[in-house]
């Protein structure tokens, strides 16, 4: 229960937090570590899948492939790769189609974890 907030005011995908102590904020872009599990072909900058984070489902563009990394060690293997494919891991600059609330996984695991899926 939250004071002065009706159930009708809250919708799927909303994030609640303490307004005085580290309030949640929407972001225009963020860098994320992604691991490609099951995708036919190659993924390059400009790819726009749906991102599922907490209960929100938002179209999100892979703006820049920053670096390819080793899945197990996390060490950089390639700067600015042209593409990634199934089995690869990379650091990617993501740009959501509308502001969304994400946090570093180390600070707030539920808001730092997401799944990516094709529009289909």
Q: What is the CATH number of the domain that holds 94?
A: 2.40.30.10
> CA-CA distance, 104 to 120, in Å (whole number)?
28
8 in a structural domain: no
Q: What is the span of the domain harbouring residue 58?
A: 42-120
State pLDDT tens for residues 48-70.
999 988 888 889 999 999 999 99
72 in a structural domain: yes
Tokens 């009708």 label which residue? 8
- pLDDT under 50 in the chain at which residues? none
Q: Which residues contact 112 (CB under 8 A, 6 or more apart)?
A: 102, 103, 104, 105, 106
> Would you state the pLDDT for residue 33?
94
12 in a structural domain: no
70-102: b (≥16 Cβ within 10 Å) or e: eeeeeeeeeeebeebeeebbbbbebebeeebbb
> Would you state the pLDDT for residue 1?
63
> Would you state the pLDDT for residue 104?
86
7 in a structural domain: no
- pTM of this structure: 0.81
């Amino acid at each position: 229960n939250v004071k002065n907030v009706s159930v009708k005011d809250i919708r799927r995908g909303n994030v609640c937090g303490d307004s005085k102590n580290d309030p949640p904020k929407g972001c225009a872009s963020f860098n994320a570590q992604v691991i490609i599990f099951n995708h036919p072909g190659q993924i390059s900058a400009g790819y726009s899948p749906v991102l599922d984070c907490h209960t929100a489902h938002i179209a999100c563009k892979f703006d820049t492939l920053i670096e390819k990394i080793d899945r197990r060690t996390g060490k950089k293997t390639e700067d600015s790769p042209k593409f990634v494919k199934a089995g690869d891991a990379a650091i990617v600059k993501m740009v959501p189609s509308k502001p969304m609330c994400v946090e570093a996984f180390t600070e707030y695991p539920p808001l730092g974890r997401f799944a990516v899926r094709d529009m289909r």
